[in-house]
Amino acid sequence: MIVGPFSEIVDSVVMSNCDLGSYTSLKGSVLGSGVSFGSHSIAIPSTRNIMYFDKEFSVSDRGAMIGDDCIIGSRATLQGGSILLSGATIGEGEFYNADFQGDNI
């Protein structure tokens, strides 16, 4: 795992071969293997509900859940409860608050 300068990881699980750019902030998140975060990106907890199979679930105080080999661009923001499937890409400067993203945005 490579962690850039001035980055913080709090209450998170980070698997092998991850690369976190400088000034990245992860709180309450789970990162799969091979995830790449650009600099100045954040994934922080928030309180909200998500719909899954027509049922509502609370994702209070949970950060993002990021699958293997995802790429998060610089200055991207992942809202708490965001779920990225393996291989997803989030572009530079994007604000992501969706669930089960498996494609690129």
The reported pTM is: 0.80
Strand partners, 3: 20
Distance of CA 87 to the CA centre of its chain: 12
pLDDT of residue 51: 73
Domain spans, the chain:
2-96
Q: Which residues of the chain have pLDDT under 50?
A: 105
In angstroms, what CA-CA distances link 30 with 53, 54, 55? 22, 24, 23
pLDDT at 36: 96
What's the CATH superfamily of 2-96? Hexapeptide repeat proteins (2.160.10.10)
